[in-house]
Amino acid sequence: MTITTLENTAHHRPSIAYVLTKLAIVLFTKELHRRYHGSGLSAVTFHPGYVNSNFGDASGSRVLTFMKHHVPISARFTATPEQGAEQLVWLASSRPGVDWTSGEYYSRHKIAKANRAAYDPRLAGELWESTMAKLA
Output the CA torsion 60→15→47→36 (10° steps): -110
Catalytic residue among 18, 36, 106, 119: 18
Query: Angle between the 62-69 and 14-36 helix axes, to the nearest 10 degrees?
Result: 110
- Measured CA to CA, the distance from residue 100 to residue 94 in angstroms comes to 8
Give the number of residues written for the chain. Answer: 136
Is 106 known to be catalytic?
no
Residues forming the active site: 18
